[in-house]
Amino acid sequence: MSKQPTPKDPQFEARVRDSFAKQTFMATLGARLARVGPGEVTIDLPVREALSQQHGSVHAGAVASVLDSAAGYAALSLMPEGAAVLSVEFKLNLLEPAVGVRIEARAHVVRSGRTLTACTAEAWAIDAAGHERLVAILQGTMMCLQGGSRTG
């Protein structure tokens, strides 16, 4: 957590961006891949009516979706060339209503193993004045797939 991890694949950013572009669901949500670093990924989700739950804030599932993708790509950024990533599990705590102009999902790798990677992620709601509030936190496990076949 404290030190910057070294990516095994120098092309990690291109690999993450290519995979994100194939996640049609991210386009459906209107989510954008903002930042890709080694073991760290940020996804930006503009808030709009189409993402609402019954009280007008962003649905917990939409927040979970960008946190999960951010965590998955943070994990993928440290995996070797040719690897793919799958979510094994994640847990989300919802702290405040997700309201504002956009949600930023910021994920980082806590431990990167050969098969499994543990990640945490935070969702921040940003209002029109640029003020940020932490609205959700995620803790999850990602799995490395080699050669396209699931190893789990």
Give me the least distance between CB of 61 and its own copies, in Å please: 2
| Choice between 53 and 126, CB closer to its own copies | 53
| Choice between 37 and 118, CB closer to its own copies | 118
User: Does 129 engage in binding with its own copies (CB under 8 A)?
Assistant: no
Q: Tell me how many residues contact its own copies (CB under 8 A).
A: 56
User: Does 28 engage in binding with its own copies (CB under 8 A)?
Assistant: yes
User: Of these, 23, 32, 99, 126, which contacts its own copies (CB under 8 A)?
Assistant: 23
Q: What is the 3-state secondary structure (H, E, C) of the chain?
A: CCCCCCCCCCCHHHHHHHHHHHCHHHHHHCCEEEEEECCEEEEEEECCHHHECCCCCECHHHHHHHHHHHHHHHHHCCCCCCEEEEEEEEEEEECCCCCCCEEEEEEEEEEECCCEEEEEEEEEEECCCCCEEEEEEEEEEEEEEECCECCC
User: Does 34 engage in binding with its own copies (CB under 8 A)?
Assistant: no
User: Does 75 engage in binding with its own copies (CB under 8 A)?
Assistant: no
User: Any idea which residue has 């060339």 for tokens?
Assistant: 81
Using CB under 8 A as the criterion, which residues of the chain lie in contact with its own copies when the complex forms? 1, 19-20, 22-28, 49-55, 58-62, 64-66, 68-69, 84, 86-96, 110-111, 113-116, 118, 120, 134, 137, 139-141, 143, 150-152
